Amino acid sequence: MGSFTQGLKVIALAGNPNVGKTTIFNALTGLRQHVGNWPGVTVEKKEGIMEYKGEEFLVVDLPGTYSLTAHAVDELVARNFILEGNADVIVDVVDASCLMRNLFLTMEILEMGVKNVVIALNKIDIAKKKGARFDIKKMEKVLGIPVIPTNAKSGQGLDELRRVIKAAAEGKIVGNPISPVYDEPIEREIEHVSKVLEGTPLVEKYNVRWLAIKLLTRDQEVIKLILRYLGQTKMDEILQHISEVEEYYKRSLDIVIANQKYEFIDKLMHQFVTHFGEVRETLSDQLDKILTHPVYGIISLLAVFYALFKFVFTLGTPIQEWLGGVFDALGSSIAPHIGDEMLRGLIVDGMIGGVGAVLSFFPLVFLLFIAMAILEDSGYMARAATVMERIMRKFGLPGKSFIPMVLAFGCNVPAVMATRTLDNERDRILTMLINPLVPCSARMVVITFLAGAFFSAHQALVAVGIYAISILLALLSALFLGKFLIKGEESPFVIELPDYLVPAWKSVIIHSWERSKEFLRKAGTVILAGAIAIWYLSNYPAPIGGGLSYAEKLGEAVEPFTKLMGLDWRAAVSLIFGIIAKENVIATYGIIYGVGESEVALATLMKNAMTPLQAFVLGLVTTLYLPCIATIGAIRAEGGNKWAAVAVIYNLALSSIVGILVYNIGLLLGL
Amino acid sequence: MKMGKLEETLRLIKEGVSNSKEIARRMDISVEEVEGIIKILESMGYIEKVEFGSPACESCPLKKICPGSCIHFKGEIYQLRKSNEYK
């Protein structure tokens, strides 16, 4: 703000994030605001002018923080502003409905030796609804500072707040703030360090007790500051002393001091807050008892995903069949207008047939994403995360791996890239390697096609079965790779469960569209190119059927191996083209059988050539074998050549073993 | 040496108790209090918030077509930071 603010009394607003600080700031300053940055950092600085009884005050909105440590820039900004004595009055906006954590910051402010602190006890209405009752007079007496109950949204208490701010700024109200008291060994050390500091010029500018406490917590900013005045030898002496206290507590003093401060607040609060009424168990709590239970949670998870597939198939299959018919009609209507036989084959069988076979699955993909968005928006996904995390931990995976694993259901490429969020090298590589085993939406196309064609009565069950086997194999792979290939430590995590909500349809549709439009983009690029290549290889040097086409030769070269899992040369060629994009497995079959876009005809022809067991093995192998080229590229970019090679070899070996085992066990069982 | 609520929360997270409601139940305190403790521990650098996507994603060549950017996971996730784990 301009120079006219010079000479004005400064009021600083401090507080936790989301306590209504900005609402109070706006109410105090009206439209007379200025937004900029704090010097040297990109933390937003808001200033405004408050007018009260003909007098003007400069109000500065400090960044919202939970404490005043030196771990984050915004905390440092707030701390330094208070520490440098820039404010005449500090208004600490406290959320009455979450008093404990808010008073933690209050104690940090009071511990700095600041006298002119006023508490704006905001959201008092919400706290009362929760059954809390405040004895404000007692609270003021215990804390030694004025406390003004406010409801910033309705404006309640703001006039009183203005009055008290003015009085405090004019020195008419002087607080006598309480300060936390610690255990005897800590207090003794605070006294020891304080005595050393008393001989320095620091005393004139800072509260010595605060400096001593911060030194005990090994606050790097304070260590740097004191070093300038004490020198290295004296500092080493103090730090050695602190180490002895740490040795006594068997841990670092920052957590010991924070704990004791927390307990101190807990005791204080009992003097001025009473809670009436029992804490009732909500419907959300009751649901969580089942949905996050170690056993019922897993059963619920399987049931939810079964329902998800049932929803996708029941609603999607008729639309999918109709769309297949549309592509069929499109091919039939175009064919007579193309005279050149080769060009007709390329456009009708290759391009429309190949891409159409994949595009007809768009309704299923879109519905899958809708179902996923509903689960996310309702808050269920967070519950699923806690259930999965518990299982993943048992298999040596860090909780944080859950994020790339969830992303993988959409596409493995961003999922591999999301492993960047894992800072532990072992966790990152492990998650990256098992990620391609999670079925992406492309593989869902293959799974749904085969499940629909061969297991129409139990298609949802078969689809969930393939998903469950893949996830189980991913977990077992994590256990195996973690034990023998990549060793390291785990990194635990905790989730704050959101309340259950009815999803907003607009948001569900937007998110589902955002995700599924990638599927359309892929159909127009990678799958189209793949379809043209497959068509060429199937028709040159001679059309497929006589054993002379490149596709047949390629398939026959690999067939001796795929035969071990009951898959013929057609499956071999399909799997090879599936490496470009997994949807190509179906597109290839369409082109090989010359039925292209007619999904019903393709299903009939495939049923004549394969048993349900072979179809199940094909679905499983398609899910487990080599990652697509884009995923291999992502693993190479993120982990290097070595891990890309490991992913390729491991997935190939695993899918071969599983395919051979399932097929031969199936044969033995007479399937 | 007696453990306070902050350390007890850290211990439970380390033990694998992965949701705030379960921590609240085990410590016999409210979920709001656990969530408050989590925020304090975060500001002290003992745990860190897990962000979906990472700053590195901003420079990713696949950013435009990456569906990861629109993944919206309700609920906040915090991870124990090793550097500070009972230093």
pLDDT number for residue A282 = 81
**R_g of chain A computed on alpha carbons:** 33
Torsion of CA A614, A615, A617, A620, to 10 degrees: 180
How far does A517 lie from chain B, in Å, by closest CA? 9
Which sequence spans correspond to the domains of chain A? 2-169, 184-275, 296-668
Nearest to B44 among A69, A251, A386 (CB): A69
Q: Is the pLDDT of residue B68 over 70?
A: no
Nearest to B54 among A249, A260, A421 (CB): A421
- Residue B48 phi, psi dihedral angles, 5° rounding: -135, 150
Most trustworthy range by pLDDT among A118-132, A356-370, B43-57: A118-132
Q: Is the pLDDT of residue A432 over 60?
A: yes
Nearest to B71 among A101, A407, A420 (CB): A407
How far does B25 lie from chain A, in Å, by closest CA? 11
Q: Judge whether B78 is closer than 8 Å to chain A, CB to CB.
A: yes
Mean pLDDT computed over every residue of chain A: 87
Q: Is the pLDDT of residue A376 over 90?
A: no
A417–B60 C-beta distance less than 8 A: yes
A29 φψ region: left (φ > 0), alpha (ψ -120 to 50), beta (else)? alpha
The CA distance from A226 to A13, in Å, is 28
- 3-state SS, one letter per residue, for A294-322: CCHHHHHHHHHHHHHHHHHHHHHHHHHHH
Q: Is the pLDDT of residue A484 over 80?
A: no
Query: Which tops the pLDDT comparison, A244 or A338?
Result: A244
Q: Is the pLDDT of residue B70 over 50?
A: no
Sequence-distant (≥ 6) Cβ neighbours of residue A480 within 8 angstroms: none
What value does the mean pLDDT take over residues A277-299? 84
* DSSP assignment string, A241-260: HHHHHHHHHTS-HHHHHHHH
Sequence-distant (≥ 6) Cβ neighbours of residue A57 within 8 angstroms: A8, A9, A10, A11, A49, A50, A51, A165, A166, A169
Measured over the CA atoms of residue A20, residue A21, residue A22 and residue A23, the dihedral's sign is: positive
- CB half-sphere exposure, A188, CA atoms < 13 A: 7
- 3-state SS, one letter per residue, for A438-497: CCCHHHHHHHHHHHHHHCHHHHHHHHHHHHHHHHHHHHHHHHHHHHHCCCCCCCCEEEEC
Q: How many other C-beta atoms lie within 10 A of the C-beta of residue A286?
A: 10
| Pick from A307-321, A329-343, A392-406, A609-623: least confident | A392-406
Q: Judge whether B61 is closer than 8 Å to chain A, CB to CB.
A: no
- Tell which residue, A529, A528, A567, A535, has the closest CA to residue A549: A535
A260–B57 C-beta distance less than 8 A: no
Q: Which residues of A touch B28 (CB under 8 A)?
A: none
pLDDT number for residue A77 = 92
Helices H, strands E: what count in chain B? 3, 2
Q: Is the pLDDT of residue A602 over 90?
A: no
Report pLDDT digits (tens) over A348-372.
877 887 777 778 778 887 888 888 8
Structure confidence at residue A24 as a pLDDT band (50, 70, 90): very high
- Tell which residue, A104, A74, A71, A78, has the closest CA to residue A14: A78
| Pick from A4-8, A281-285, A511-515: least confident | A4-8
Structure confidence at residue B85 as a pLDDT band (50, 70, 90): very low
pLDDT number for residue A544 = 76
User: Exposed, middle or buried: residue A200 (CB in 10 Å: 0-12, 13-18, 19+)?
Assistant: middle
- Tell which residue, A433, A383, A424, has the closest CA to residue A405: A433
Q: Is the pLDDT of residue A1 over 60?
A: no
Residue of A nearest to B71 (CA): A407
Please state which CATH number belongs to domain A184-275: 1.10.287.1770
Q: Is the pLDDT of residue A604 over 90?
A: no
B18–A386 C-beta distance less than 8 A: yes
A386–B19 C-beta distance less than 8 A: yes
pLDDT number for residue A147 = 97
User: Exposed, middle or buried: residue A179 (CB in 10 Å: 0-12, 13-18, 19+)?
Assistant: middle
Residue of A nearest to B11 (CA): A492
Sequence-distant (≥ 6) Cβ neighbours of residue A652 within 8 angstroms: A625, A626
Helix or strand (DSSP H, E) at A200: none
Question: Tokens at residue A52, please?
Answer: 């009260």
B14–A254 C-beta distance less than 8 A: no
Question: Tokens at residue A317, please?
Answer: 């299959």
- Give the 3-state secondary structure of residue A522: helix
Helix or strand (DSSP H, E) at A234: helix A232-249
Q: Would you say how long chain A is, in residues?
A: 671
Q: Which residues of A touch B19 (CB under 8 A)?
A: 292, 382, 386, 494-497
**R_g of chain B computed on alpha carbons:** 16
pLDDT number for residue A177 = 94
- CA A444 from centre of chain: 23
Q: Judge whether A528 is closer than 8 Å to chain B, CB to CB.
A: no
Q: Judge whether B59 is closer than 8 Å to chain A, CB to CB.
A: no
pLDDT number for residue B84 = 43
Sequence-distant (≥ 6) Cβ neighbours of residue A51 within 8 angstroms: A57
Alpha carbon distances (Å) from A592 to A45, A534, A545, A563, A573: 66, 8, 9, 18, 9
- Give the 3-state secondary structure of residue A504: coil
Q: Judge whether B47 is closer than 8 Å to chain A, CB to CB.
A: yes
Q: Best mutation site among B74, B77, B84 for testing chain A: the one with the most A CBs within 10 Å?
A: B74
pLDDT number for residue A300 = 94
Sequence-distant (≥ 6) Cβ neighbours of residue B8 within 8 angstroms: B27
pLDDT number for residue A567 = 94
Please give the share of chain A, as a percent, with pLDDT higher than 70.
96
Torsion of CA A264, A266, A267, A272, to 10 degrees: 120
Q: Best mutation site among B25, B32, B48, B71 for testing chain A: the one with the most A CBs within 10 Å?
A: B71
Q: Which residues of A touch B30 (CB under 8 A)?
A: 279
Q: Judge whether B24 is closer than 8 Å to chain A, CB to CB.
A: no
Q: Judge whether B11 is closer than 8 Å to chain A, CB to CB.
A: no
What value does the mean pLDDT take over residues A437-463? 87
pLDDT number for residue A306 = 85
Which residue type does A522 have?
A: K
User: The domain A2-169 is classified under which CATH number: 3.40.50.170, 3.40.50.300, 3.30.465.10, 3.40.50.2300?
Assistant: 3.40.50.300
Q: Would you say how long chain B is, in residues?
A: 87
Tokens 């009732």 correspond to what residue? A280
Structure confidence at residue A619 as a pLDDT band (50, 70, 90): very high
Q: Judge whether A29 is closer than 8 Å to chain B, CB to CB.
A: no
Whether residue A259 contacts residue A217, with contact meaning beta carbons closer than 8 Å, is answered with no
Complex-level ipTM: 0.84
- Residue B78 phi, psi dihedral angles, 5° rounding: -125, 140
Report pLDDT digits (tens) over A152-181.
889 999 999 999 999 999 999 988 999 999
Q: Which residues of B touch A66 (CB under 8 A)?
A: 39-40, 42-43
Q: Judge whether A533 is closer than 8 Å to chain B, CB to CB.
A: no
Sequence-distant (≥ 6) Cβ neighbours of residue A188 within 8 angstroms: none
User: Exposed, middle or buried: residue A318 (CB in 10 Å: 0-12, 13-18, 19+)?
Assistant: exposed
Whether residue A210 contacts residue A111, with contact meaning beta carbons closer than 8 Å, is answered with yes
- Residue A502 phi, psi dihedral angles, 5° rounding: -80, 120
Q: How many other C-beta atoms lie within 10 A of the C-beta of residue A159?
A: 12
Alpha carbon distances (Å) from A420 to A105, A202, A615, A639, A646: 33, 44, 36, 10, 19
Q: Best mutation site among B19, B30, B62, B72 for testing chain A: the one with the most A CBs within 10 Å?
A: B19
Nearest to A100 among B13, B36, B62 (CB): B36
- CA angle at residue A326 from A320 to A331, to 5 degrees? 130
Alpha carbon distances (Å) from A563 to A53, A304, A566, A598, B9: 91, 36, 5, 27, 55
Sequence-distant (≥ 6) Cβ neighbours of residue A261 within 8 angstroms: A104, A107, A108, A180, A182
- Give the 3-state secondary structure of residue A33: strand
Report pLDDT digits (tens) over A652-663.
999 999 999 999
pLDDT number for residue A491 = 65
Q: Judge whether A292 is closer than 8 Å to chain B, CB to CB.
A: yes
Sequence-distant (≥ 6) Cβ neighbours of residue B40 within 8 angstroms: A66, A67, A101, A104, A258, A262, B6
Tokens 């030898």 correspond to what residue? A233
